[in-house]
């Protein structure tokens, strides 16, 4: 279980999150929704160890978290990829990927020679997911990862993530404005900020 308790976070001097709590059990998908600017991304980044809270605690199974076990997926995967690297290098950046995992996620070898800007948004999101899963995370923070995709690509990505949660016991925080989408994909309901 990855847990945030009574988190307060600031950007500069501004408090953008106050006394927020959330629990993400292993193997479950929990939704996080709420109006724009309420601090969803900030809370996701705090849970992934990318933003230090000014108050509150994050625990993993009740202990100090090992943030290497938490991977953060961005809405715009291009922003998290080196534009000068080819896809083959990007997906093996942290760890080698197995052919089985590549096939399951749907990243064909034909993409390996391409640069990130030569793939579509849905294809790039699959590359980002493959790179994250190769690191064998226990938790994923998926921040609006399908909001720029057409409904079919959106469904494909979430079907994949549902399998990842179930088969690999990965806990997934799904951050989205789209409460209807969260209603379809979450296994443990939604938290609203």
Ligand X SMILES: Nc1ncnc2c1ncn2[C@@H]1O[C@H](COP(=O)(O)OP(=O)(O)OP(=O)(O)O)[C@@H](O)[C@H]1O
Q: Contacts with ligand X: how many residues (CB under 6 A)?
A: 11
Rounded Cα distance between 107 and 34, Å, is: 32
Shortest distance (Å) from residue 96 CB to ligand X? 33
Q: Is 6:43 a contact under the CB 8 Å cutoff?
A: no
The token pair at 151 is: 């409904």
Of the pair 133, 174, the CB lying nearest ligand X is at 174
| CA-to-CA separations, 20 to 42, 43, 47, 159, in angstroms, rounded | 11, 8, 11, 29
Shortest distance (Å) from residue 49 CB to ligand X? 16
Residue 32 phi/psi, 5-degree rounding, is -130, 115
Site string for ligand X, 14-53 (x = CB under 6 A): --x-----------------x-xxxxxxx-----------
Shortest distance (Å) from residue 91 CB to ligand X? 27
Which residues are at the interface with ligand X (CB under 6 A)? 11-12, 16, 34, 36-42
């Amino acid at each position: 279980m990855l847990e945030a308790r009574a988190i307060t976070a600031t950007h500069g001097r501004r408090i953008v999150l106050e006394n927020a709590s959330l629990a993400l059990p292993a193997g479950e998908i929990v939704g996080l929704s709420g109006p724009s600017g309420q601090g969803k991304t900030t809370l996701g980044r705090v849970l992934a160890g990318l933003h230090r809270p000014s108050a509150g605690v994050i625990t993993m199974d009740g202990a100090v978290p090992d943030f290497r076990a938490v991977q953060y997926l961005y809405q715009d995967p291009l922003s998290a990829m080196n534009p000068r690297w080819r896809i083959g290098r990007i997906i093996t950046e942290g760890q080698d990927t197995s052919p089985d995992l590549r096939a399951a996620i749907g990243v064909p070898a034909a993409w390996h020679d391409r640069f990130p800007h030569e793939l579509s948004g849905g294809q790039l999101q699959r590359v980002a997911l493959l790179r994250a899963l190769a690191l064998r995370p226990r938790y994923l923070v998926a921040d609006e990862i399908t909001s720029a995709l057409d409904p079919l690509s959106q469904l494909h990505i979430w079907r994949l993530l549902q399998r990842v949660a179930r088969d690999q016991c990965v806990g997934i925080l799904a951050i989205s404005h789209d409460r209807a989408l969260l209603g379809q994909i979450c296994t443990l309901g939604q938290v609203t900020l």
